[in-house]
C-alpha cells in the first residue's frame, strides 16, 4: 500500500509542480511582509488574511488540477486493473485517497505554513516566541489531529484487533474528554454555564471524526503493509521507516576508517585554530570561522564517491539495485549516515569556538550545520553524475577556496543582490556580522537542488555502464 | 508463470538477442549456450538491469515493468561475479539484504538466515567478514543472498562457479526443495549436471533459442545419436576433431564418443548419448 501511495505521489510530483510551489512560495515571500503572531502561525485563516488570496487560490486550483488529472489517468490506465487485482478494490481507492490527502497536505498546505513560519521569524524574530507557537501547535495537534491518529495506529499495530483497539480508544477518549471538560469548568469558574463546554465538545467531535478517518486508514495500512509481526513493536517500525536500521548496516559496511582519518585531521586543524584564536587575539576569529564553516565541511565532504564505489568494487551493485528498497534510497541513506557524525563534530567544534570567541552566535552554528550539508551534497551530486571522485573533490574544494578569497568577496559585496545571497560573507567578515535566516534557507535550498537530481539519477542508474 | 515475448537486444552492430520467446513456470530451467550467446543479457533484461529494444515480458499474462518495485520484490538474482562487502560478516550481509527487501521483523530475518545458512553449509562462517571468505564460501553466500527474501523467481548466473563437487551436490539438493514453488532459471556450463537437475532446458545459440523442452527429450531424439570407438592414443590424435564429442581414457587407450558426419563415418558402435554430447551437437550445427 505504501508503495502504491508513494508511486501515486511520484506520478503527481513532477518538476512542473515543484517549480510552481517553489515559485509560489517565492512570490508570497516577496509581495507580502508577513508577520503573524506566534500563536496564529498554525491558523489557516490568519495566513490567508496575510497573503494574497488570489495567488493562494490559484495554487490550490493547481493542486486540485494535478489530483484530478492523476485520478482521470489512473482510471483510464491499464495498470489500474493489475493494481486492483494485487491490492483489492477497497485498498486501492483508500490508497488513492491517502495519496491525494498527503499530496495536498505536504505539497500544498505545508509550504504555505512553512513560508509564513520562516517569513515571520525573519521579519520579527524578536516578537516571535517558539513557546507560543509550539503551545498552539501542540494543543491543536493533540486535540484534533495527531493524537487520535497516533493512538489508533499504535493500538492497531500492537493489538492487531479492531474491536479491542476501538474499545481501548473509546475508554481513553472518554477519560480525556471528561478531564478536559472538568478542568475547563474548574478553571473558568463557569460551573453554572453549561455552554462553556461547547468548544471542547466541538473539538472532541473533530477528534472523533479524525479518529474515524485515521482508524480506517491506519487499519487498512496495517492490514497490508504490516501484516507481519514486528518484534520490536512500534519503535522498531519507526526505526525502519526513518532508515535507522539501514544506517546501522551502512556503518558496518563502509566502516568508520575514512571518517576517523578525517576526524584526526579535523581535530589537528581544530587544535591549531583554537590555539591561534586564544593566543593571538580576536582577529583570528575569522580563521576559526573559516575553519569550522568551510575547511572542516570540505574535508569531510571529500570522496562521497565511496558511497557508490563500495557497491561497484564488491560487485554488489546489481543485487542492491534489484532489492525492493530502491537503489536511490539506499545510497541516500548512506550519505545521510555518513553526514551524521560529521555534523555532530561540527557542532561540538563550533561550540568550542563560540565559547572561546564572543562574537559568534547561534545563527552561526546553524550556518555551520547547513554548510556541512551543502558541501557534502555538492560532492555527492557531482560524484553521482561524473562517477569519479577526483572531479567532485576538486570542484568542491575549488568552490570553497574561491568563496573565501578576498577579491571574490569584494566583487560579491559590490552587488546588493549577490551580497544578500552570499553565504560566506559573515564567515570572512572581520566584524561580528552574523548570517541571516535567509542564508540558512539558501544553503538548504542549494543542498536540496544538489540532492534531488542525484537522487533522480540514482533511480535510473545504468549499472551495465559501470 | 512468466513469459518472454519477442525480446530483442543489440549492442552496437551486434544482435545479442534475436527476438526470443519463451515461457517459464515453477521448477528449474537450465539455460546453456556458448560464451557470448546472450544468456546473461537475457538475465539482465529479465531482472530489469537492461531494457530490451523490442518485445514484452509478461507475468501471469500481464505485461510488467521489470524496473518496478513489484517485480523487484518478486525476484532474486545471483550475478555471474559477486564480491560481497568485505567488512560485513555473512550474517550482517544477509540481514542487510533482508532489510533492503523490506522485511522488518528481526525474528523473521533471523529465521530466514538460520534456515538458508544451514541449507548452504554456511553456519560456520556467520560471523566471518566476507573479505576473509574463500571463493566457494563466497559463492554460497551469494546464492544465499539470492534466496534470502524468499523470492518467487530466482535468476542464477553460473551458481556453481568455485563450488567443489560436494558443494555442487549440496547446492543441487538445495534447489530440489524449491522445484514446486519457485521459478528458477539457472545458467551453467556443466551440462551433465544441468541435464539431471533441470525440469526444462533452454539452449542458446547466437542469440536465438535453439532448444526449449524437457532434458529427456534431448536424449530421446534419434537425430542426436552418437557412436563410440576405442583407439590407441596415436590413432585418436588423427581422428577428425570436429566429430569428437568426448574423450575417455581407458587402460592406455582412448575411447572417442563422436557424431558421425556421413554414412562412411559409421565406424565403431552405437553409444548412449549424454547431455553434453547432445548439447555440443546442437550448438555446433
- Sequence-distant (≥ 6) Cβ neighbours of residue A127 within 8 angstroms: A35, A38
Instruction: Given the cut 0.90, state whether the ipTM is greater than it.
Output: no
Residue of B nearest to A228 (CA): B105
For chain B, which residues score pLDDT lower than 50?
A: none
Residue of B nearest to A322 (CA): B72
**Which member of B77, B82, B96 has the closest CB to residue A249?**
B96
pLDDT at residue A238 in the model = 62
Contact status, residue A362 vs residue A432, Cβ threshold 8 Å: no
- In this structure, is the dihedral angle defined by the CA atoms of residues A404, A407, A408 and A411, taken in order, positive or negative? positive
- The C-alpha of B75 sits at a distance from chain A's nearest C-alpha, in angstroms, of 8
**Which member of A3, A229, A314 has the closest CB to residue B105?**
A229
Residue of A nearest to B88 (CA): A253
> φ, ψ for residue B17 (rounded to 5)?
-125, 125
- Where does the pLDDT of residue A169 fall: very low under 50, low under 70, confident under 90, or very high at 90 and above? low
Contact status, residue A149 vs residue A218, Cβ threshold 8 Å: yes
- Where does the pLDDT of residue A228 fall: very low under 50, low under 70, confident under 90, or very high at 90 and above? very low
Find the angle CA(A419)-CA(A423)-CA(A429) to the nearest 5 degrees.
75
Those of residues 74-103 in B touching chain A at CB distance below 8 A are 75, 77-79, 81-88, 92, 95-97, 99-103
More confident residue, B79 or A36: B79
pLDDT at residue A377 in the model = 94
Cell 552587488, residue located: A415
**Which member of A226, A245, A323 has the closest CB to residue B97?**
A323
Q: Is A284 on the interface with B (CB under 8 A)?
A: no
Average pLDDT of A211-231?
A: 50
Average pLDDT of A165-185?
A: 64
Residue of A nearest to B103 (CA): A228
Q: Could you read off the pLDDT of A311-320 as tens digits, one per residue?
A: 888 888 888 8
List % helix, strand, coil for chain B (3-state, nearest 5): 40, 30, 30
Is A322 close to B92, i.e. CB distance below 8 A?
no
More confident residue, A163 or B233: B233
Average pLDDT of A325-354?
A: 86
Q: Could you read off the pLDDT of A340-360 as tens digits, one per residue?
A: 888 888 888 888 777 766 656
- Where does the pLDDT of residue A258 fall: very low under 50, low under 70, confident under 90, or very high at 90 and above? low
Sheet containing strand B208-213, edge to edge, reads B75-78, B153-157, B183-187, B27-33, B200-205, B208-213
pTM: 0.64
Chain B CB contacts of A228 under 8 Å are: 103-105, 108
pLDDT at residue A4 in the model = 80
Is B84 close to A232, i.e. CB distance below 8 A?
no
pLDDT at A57 over 90: no
- How far from chain centre, in Å, is Cα A327? 20
pLDDT at A230 over 60: no
> φ, ψ for residue A143 (rounded to 5)?
-75, -50
Highest mean pLDDT out of A95-99, A323-327, B71-75: B71-75
Average pLDDT of A21-42?
A: 74
Mean pLDDT of chain A: 74
- Where does the pLDDT of residue A224 fall: very low under 50, low under 70, confident under 90, or very high at 90 and above? very low
More confident residue, A333 or A21: A333
Average pLDDT of A63-90?
A: 69
Q: What are the grid coordinates assigned to A91, written together?
A: 485498498
- Where does the pLDDT of residue A222 fall: very low under 50, low under 70, confident under 90, or very high at 90 and above? very low
**Which member of A236, A315, A320 has the closest CB to residue B104?**
A236
| Preferred mutation among B105, B110, B111 to probe A, highest tally of A CBs within 10 A | B105
Point out the least confidently predicted range of A44-58, A62-76, B43-57, B102-116.
A44-58
pLDDT at residue B185 in the model = 94
Q: Is A256 on the interface with B (CB under 8 A)?
A: no
- Sequence-distant (≥ 6) Cβ neighbours of residue B274 within 8 angstroms: B192, B195, B246, B257
Count of beta carbons in the 10 Å neighbourhood of residue B97: 25
- The C-alpha of A115 sits at a distance from chain B's nearest C-alpha, in angstroms, of 35
- Work out whether strand B253-258 and strand B75-78 pair parallel, antiparallel, or are unpaired: unpaired
Radius of gyration of chain A, Cα coordinates, nearest whole angstrom = 26
pLDDT at residue A195 in the model = 40
- Reduce the DSSP state of residue A129 to 3 states and report it: coil
Amino acid at each position: 500500500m505504501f508503495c502504491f501511495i508513494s508511486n501515486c505521489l511520484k506520478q503527481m510530483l513532477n518538476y512542473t509542480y515543484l517549480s510552481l510551489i517553489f515559485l509560489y512560495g517565492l512570490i508570497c515571500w516577496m509581495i507580502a511582509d508577513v508577520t503573524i503572531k506566534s500563536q496564529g502561525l498554525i491558523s489557516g485563516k490568519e495566513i490567508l488574511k496575510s497573503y494574497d488570496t488570489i495567488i493562494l487560490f490559484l495554487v490550490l486550483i493547481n493542486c486540485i488540477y494535478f489530483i484530478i488529472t492523476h485520478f482521470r489517468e489512473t482510471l483510464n490506465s491499464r495498470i489500474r486493473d493489475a493494481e486492483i487485482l494485487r491490492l483489492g478494490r477497497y485498498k486501492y481507492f483508500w490508497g488513492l485517497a491517502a495519496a491525494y490527502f498527503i499530496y495536498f497536505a505536504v505539497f500544498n498546505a505545508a509550504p504555505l505554513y512553512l513560508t509564513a513560519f520562516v517569513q515571520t521569524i525573519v521579519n520579527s524574530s524578536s516578537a516571535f516566541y517558539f513557546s507560543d507557537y509550539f503551545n498552539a501547535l501542540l494543543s491543536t495537534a493533540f486535540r484534533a489531529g495527531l493524537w487520535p491518529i497516533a493512538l489508533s495506529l499504535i493500538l492497531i499495530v500492537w493489538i492487531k484487533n479492531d474491536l479491542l483497539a476501538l474499545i481501548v480508544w473509546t475508554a481513553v477518549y472518554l477519560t480525556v474528554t471528561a478531564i478536559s471538560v472538568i478542568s475547563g469548568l474548574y478553571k473558568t469558574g463557569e460551573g453554572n454555564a453549561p455552554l462553556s463546554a461547547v468548544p471542547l465538545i466541538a473539538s472532541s467531535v473533530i477528534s472523533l471524526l479524525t479518529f474515524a478517518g485515521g482508524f480506517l486508514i491506519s487499519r487498512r495500512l496495517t492490514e497490508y503493509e504490516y501484516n507481519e509481526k514486528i518484534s520490536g513493536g512500534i519503535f522498531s517500525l519507526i526505526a525502519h521507516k526513518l532508515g535507522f536500521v539501514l544506517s546501522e548496516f551502512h556503518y558496518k559496511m563502509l566502516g568508520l576508517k575514512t571518517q576517523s582519518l578525517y576526524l584526526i585531521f579535523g581535530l589537528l586543524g581544530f587544535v591549531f585554530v583554537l590555539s591561534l584564536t586564544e593566543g593571538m587575539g580576536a582577529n583570528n576569529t575569522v580563521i576559526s570561522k573559516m575553519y569550522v564553516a568551510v575547511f572542516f565541511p570540505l574535508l569531510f565532504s571529500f570522496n562521497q564517491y565511496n558511497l557508490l564505489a563500495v557497491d561497484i568494487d564488491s560487485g554488489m551493485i546489481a543485487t542492491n539495485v534489484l532489492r525492493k528498497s530502491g537503489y536511490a534510497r539506499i545510497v541516500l541513506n548512506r550519505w545521510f549516515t555518513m553526514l551524521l557524525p560529521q555534523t555532530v563534530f561540527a557542532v561540538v567544534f563550533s561550540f568550542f569556538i563560540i565559547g572561546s570567541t564572543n562574537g559568534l552566535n547561534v545563527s552561526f552554528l546553524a550556518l555551520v550545520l547547513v554548510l556541512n550539508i551543502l558541501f557534502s551534497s555538492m560532492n555527492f551530486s557531482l560524484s553521482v553524475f561524473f562517477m569519479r571522485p577526483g572531479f567532485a573533490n576538486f570542484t568542491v574544494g575549488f568552490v570553497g577556496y574561491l568563496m573565501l578569497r578576498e577579491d571574490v568577496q569584494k566583487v560579491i559585496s559590490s552587488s546588493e543582490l549577490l551580497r544578500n545571497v552570499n553565504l560566506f560573507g559573515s564567515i570572512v567578515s572581520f566584524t561580528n556580522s552574523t548570517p541571516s535566516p535567509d542564508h540558512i534557507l539558501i544553503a538548504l535550498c542549494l543542498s536540496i537542488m544538489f540532492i534531488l537530481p542525484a537522487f533522480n539519477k540514482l533511480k535510473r542508474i545504468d549499472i551495465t555502464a559501470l | 508463470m512468466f513469459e518472454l515475448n519477442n525480446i530483442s537486444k543489440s549492442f552496437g552492430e551486434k544482435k545479442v538477442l534475436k527476438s526470443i520467446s519463451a515461457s517459464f513456470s515453477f521448477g528449474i530451467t537450465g539455460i546453456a549456450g556458448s560464451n557470448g550467446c546472450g544468456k546473461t543479457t537475457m538475465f539482465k533484461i529479465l531482472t530489469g538491469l537492461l531494457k530490451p529494444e523490442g518485445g514484452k515480458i509478461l507475468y501471469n499474462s500481464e505485461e510488467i515493468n521489470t524496473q518496478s518495485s513489484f517485480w523487484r520484490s518478486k525476484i532474486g538474482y545471483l550475478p555471474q561475479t559477486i564480491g560481497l562487502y568485505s567488512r560485513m560478516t555473512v550474517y550482517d550481509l544477509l540481514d542487510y539484504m533482508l532489510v533492503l527487501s523490506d522485511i522488518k521483523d528481526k525474528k523473521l530475518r533471523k529465521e530466514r538466515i538460520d534456515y538458508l545458512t544451514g541449507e548452504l553449509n554456511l553456519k560456520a562462517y556467520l560471523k566471518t567478514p566476507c573479505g576473509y571468505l574463500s571463493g566457494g564460501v563466497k559463492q554460497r553466500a551469494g546464492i544465499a543472498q539470492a534466496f534470502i527474501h524468499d523470492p518467487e523467481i530466482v535468476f542464477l548466473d553460473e551458481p556453481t562457479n568455485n563450488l567443489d563437487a560436494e558443494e555442487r551436490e549440496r547446492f543441487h539438493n538445495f534447489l530440489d526443495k524449491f522445484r514446486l514453488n519457485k521459478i528458477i532459471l539457472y545458467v551453467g556450463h556443466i551440462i551433465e549436471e544441468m541435464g539431471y537437475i533441470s525440469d526444462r532446458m533452454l539452449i542458446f545459440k547466437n542469440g536465438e533459442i535453439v532448444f526449449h523442452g524437457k532434458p529427456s527429450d534431448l536424449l530421446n531424439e534419434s537425430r542426436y545419436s552418437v557412436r563410440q570407438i576405442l583407439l590407441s592414443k596415436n590413432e585418436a590424435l588423427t581422428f577428425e576433431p570436429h566429430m569428437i564429442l568426448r574423450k575417455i581414457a581407458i587402460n592406455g587407450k582412448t575411447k572417442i564418443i563422436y557424431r558421425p558426419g556421413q554414412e562412411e563415418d559409421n565406424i565403431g558402435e552405437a553409444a548412449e548419448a549424454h547431455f553434453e554430447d547432445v548439447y555440443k551437437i546442437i550448438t555446433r550445427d
